[in-house]
Amino acid sequence: MDEAALGRDWSIRSGGEDDFPAVVETVGEALVVSDDRATSLARLTPLLAEDDFGRLLVAIESGRSERDAEDERAVRDGRVIGSVNAFSFRMTLPGGSRPVAGITGVGVWPTRRRQGVLTALIRRQLADIRDRGENLAILWASEGSIYGRFGYGPANSEYKGELAYAHARLRPDAPRGADLSVELVRASRARSDLERVHAAATARQVGRLQRSPAFWERALADTPDARAGRSSLKAAVVHGPEGPLGYALHRTRDRWENANPCARLHVEEAVATTPKAWTALYEHLFSRDLVTQLVFESMAQDDPLHFLLADPKRLVTRFDDSLWVRLVDVPGALAERSYAVPADVVLEVSDRHAPWNEGRWRLRADRNGATCERTSRAPDLSLDVSHLGAVHLGANTLSGYLRTGLITEHTPGSVFGLDTALFRPEAPFCDQGF
């Protein structure tokens, strides 16, 4: 249903499949996407179709321009100048699997920036997410300065790793299993094994998303665009007596220098469910002839390779931020989370884009569960909703924000106590971009 005009000549409304080509054009231009728009449309349509395009929001401007002069629908109904979208995911969080909104397709046409379009879209989206009963929104940020002001916090860090084959050796005491075997096949032929391993890992590791059929199709895509000059996608699958226990999706790129081989092996995804399976997986990757360099596209902060290598210093890593998290419903998100130790703290939360979160909340938690309710008690801690998002997965702490004066501690020790309660021993990890 259309909203009243939020600007002089534009308004926000729900979108649909008919709007999607214009959305791809708008977002592609906003994000400086080099792909041909038809290619982007073909790649994205199956993903959005899983939700029947039901979470698409568009900003519509009335009138005609050169850009839409040949688009009769745009002339009749107005043209898309901005959009936001979301996927309906289930994510493993401290406390279990929960529904979350995976924010995607955010963009405003370049000549319509700085006019309040994005703010209006995101505020409407937050209200819609809350109405759906999802307490969290997550995203991969193109620019951190954009999403911090909308209440998102950087909640996780991951790494890209490179390892010269000359140093690709594991510790002699790495756990090994004589009953394990590794098979190398085209990735598409191993899909059932991959799905089984991924589901088992997702159930245990915070940050992972349950992968839908359309996202599996994307993960296993083997088109020329996906290959980017590299080989077809292969899967090295570790099997034990009880079935598949791990896999690595990878491609190779052949190179020769001075008549000598110097090929690279690019690991796009590596997953295992037992220590011995990790060892078997890495030893297979380390055994390829003609390869001189291994590239791991995405690794958790505590990836097993950091601990299994004979010389961990030889693994060259490059930091990258990963998921950004926003508490759409503060009491709901805090109450559904698990905590390492008991906590009883009053939080004074500011949230300029989701006013229902503003105010004081008393969080009481122990090993049996948690409650978070409005209170008139004096606050122990004052902070922005973005700070809560940054620590929600357990990878970060509030202490850094306190030291820099970005949050206010009214009761000494309340930050330390809450950080301790939020702590998770294992680093979160998300292997699915969106």
**Three-state SS across the chain?**
CCCCCCCCCEEEEECCHHHHHHHHHHHHHHCCCCCCHHHHHHHHHHHHHCCCCCCCEEEEECCCCHHHCCCHHHHHHCEEEEEEEEEEEEEEECCEEEEEEEEEEEEECHHHCCCCHHHHHHHHHHHHHHHCCCCEEEEECCCHHHHHCCCCEECCEEEEEEEEHHHCCECCCCCCCCCCEEEEEEHHHHHHHHHHHHHHHHHHCCCCECCCHHHHHHHCCCCHHHHCCCCCCEEEEEEECCEEEEEEEEEEECCEECCEECEEEEEEEEEECCHHHHHHHHHHHCCCCCEEEEEEEEEECCCCHHHHECCHHHCEEEEEECEEEEECCHHHHHHCCCCCCCEEEEEEEECCCCHHHCEEEEEEEECCEEEEEECCCCCCEEEEHHHHHHHCCCCCCCHHHHHCCCCEECCCCHHHHHHHHHCCCCCCCCCCCC
pLDDT for the residue 2: 41
pLDDT value, residue 67: 52
Say how far apart CA 160 and CA 143 lie, in whole Å.
19
Centre a 10 Å sphere on the Cβ of residue 169 and count the other Cβ atoms it contains.
16
Q: What is the pLDDT along the chain (434 residues), one digit of tens a residue?
A: 344 444 459 999 999 999 999 999 999 999 999 888 898 999 999 999 999 999 999 999 986 554 554 454 443 468 999 999 999 999 999 999 999 999 999 999 999 999 999 999 999 999 999 999 999 999 999 887 889 999 999 999 999 999 999 999 999 999 999 999 999 999 999 999 999 999 999 999 999 999 999 999 999 999 888 898 899 999 999 999 999 999 999 999 988 888 888 899 999 999 999 999 999 999 999 999 999 999 999 999 999 999 999 999 999 999 888 899 999 999 999 999 999 999 999 999 999 999 999 999 999 999 889 999 999 999 999 999 999 999 999 999 999 999 999 999 999 999 999 999 999 999 999 999 99
pLDDT for the residue numbered 3 = 43
Closest to 47 in 3D by CA, of 19, 8, 86: 86
pLDDT for 297: 94
Determine the pLDDT at residue 74: 45
Q: What residues are labeled active site?
A: 147, 434
Q: Is the alpha carbon torsion for 400, 403, 408, 409 positive or negative?
A: positive
What pLDDT does residue 228 have? 87
d(CA 396, CA 401): 10
Rounded distance between C-alpha atoms, residue 1 and residue 7, angstroms: 17
Q: Other C-beta atoms within 10 Å of 66: how many?
A: 6
- Contact call for residues 429 and 129 (beta carbons, < 8 A): no
- Structural tokens at position 69: 């002069």
Distances (CA, A) of 94 to 161, 204, 212, 331, 336: 27, 10, 21, 15, 8
Could you count the other beta carbons within 10 Å of the beta carbon of residue 341? 12
